[in-house]
Amino acid sequence: MSAPNDNPTIILGTRGSELALVQATATEKALGLAFPHLSLRREIIKTTGDRRTDVALSEVAKSEGTFDKGVFIKELEEALDRGDVDVAVHSLKDMPTVQEPRFAVVAVLPRAPIRDVLVSRNPGGLDAIPANGRIGTSSVRRAKQIQWLRPDLEVIDLRGNVPTRLRRAAEDENYDGILLAEAGLIRLGYLPEISEGSASEPILGIDGLHAVRLPEDQFYPAAGQGAVALEIRSGDAPSQVFCEGISHEPTMLRIRAEREFLRLLDKFVYRSTLYGHFGDGCIHGRITFELETREGIAAMRRFMEEATDLVVKYGGSISGEHGIGLEKADGSLASLFRLARA
């Protein structure tokens, strides 16, 4: 692909955490290989989420008037809007399902493994966490799922970057375990990319910590988890050319499908939780509709009508073997679903 001009310069905006910088470096490397004459600059931007680690994400978001993870992208998008940077590098799972029209995610890097990981001082994973133990996470999705699997466990808020959280897990006895993304642990060198099945593994570089990668068909990852997104100003053609030149299209297809399902949920469901991912040609997930029964059934029917259209759009079909089922769970309607490509 030819460059838009003879001496182009791209300014990348990124957060300053260890993981964010690793992801920015990977982006720079890909751009440099694809466009050898491209000049690259990096701007490190401190977000509200980076500054406010003393309170829960929900409280920070409430004070900022945004959604929980929005506190990690607000200042990056403001820099994009001002023209201070050309491309913002994000962890895709931190981004809203529906973007403002003036921004666009136009590329993603190859996706890292997508599972969640339970880290604890004792080997054995979830079964080794003591009764009424305490699990640290700042993710509502992870908190809901761990309590689904182990209702006896208490979830306590845990903020900070990946190294900080690992140190807390190793040193703070208030936590019997913590939950982190596999992708971040791999990118920072705490886990090898190739796993050892379901066995406990040591956290590399930190003595006394053990990790178990939670199977994604039992502990559903976030939509977009493990993907690095490149966001630009809508209509910025030169930046779009460069970003699309390094985009990993199989990952782009998957994250579009996952994010479209979240968009449908936002459209039809007053309050819901989705745990899901697109893998091996399938969408896997669990939805909980926290509505009155009649409204819940109606919402589910409308959702499935549009979901079916979405699957057809992406060249697939509803799998009859693993179809849609409704069940009551703690006063809610839950649906376990699998949408498969033909």
Helix (H) or strand (E) run with residue 40 in it: strand 39-44
Cα distance between residue 335 and residue 294, in whole Å: 15
Cα distance between residue 220 and residue 208, in whole Å: 27
Tallying the residues shown for the chain, one arrives at 342
Q: Tokens 């994604």 map to which residue?
A: 216
Residues 79, 84, 87: CA angle, nearest 5 degrees: 75
> Which residues form the catalytic set?
94
Residues 95, 101, 104: CA angle, nearest 5 degrees: 50
Q: How far apart are the first and last CA of the chain?
A: 34
CA nearest 172: which of 208, 203, 139, 201? 208
CA neighbours closer than 13 Å in the CB half-sphere of residue 83 = 2
